[in-house]
Structure 1
């Protein structure tokens, strides 16, 4: 049986420290094994990081983003690459996530 993996301030502090040391300005903490079909992770992001636009075209792929601490900007594009929505996802804010 798998042990609980807590999402707490200690995890956030460790991710922030590792993300600050990472040239990309971000660090993943996987809660899943790579062979599992559903990938679950916490990602620590530094203010300087940038995640380029991407999409999951496979019907069995989904992505949910939730700001647990701090915040980040999100752009949604249509098939032609035009921006159709933009949000700031902020922990404790008006919009804190997207699925």
Structure 2
């Protein structure tokens, strides 16, 4: 399951790289969470915002690999890619 984990982190990094060029190119900060009414709740500097999910995935997959819990890898891969895609979609839709 290690190759799947590595591939997932690579996909997340690629998604972030593409988003860095396309989503709100002039924005210094990107929203990380929105309130129910659609206003930003908090934000991070651009590079940090795009690096959070790939970095978190790398940490989670490292812990999973060290603990030998391979059954958790596939659902985690799907969840990370889905969550990152949703975040990037919302950033694109709401302008960062």
When the two structures are superposed, what TM-score results if normalisation uses the length of structure 1?
A: 0.22
Structure with greater proportional helix content:
2
Q: Which has the higher contact order (CA 8 A, sep 6+)?
A: 2
Q: Which protein is richer in strand relative to its size? A: 1
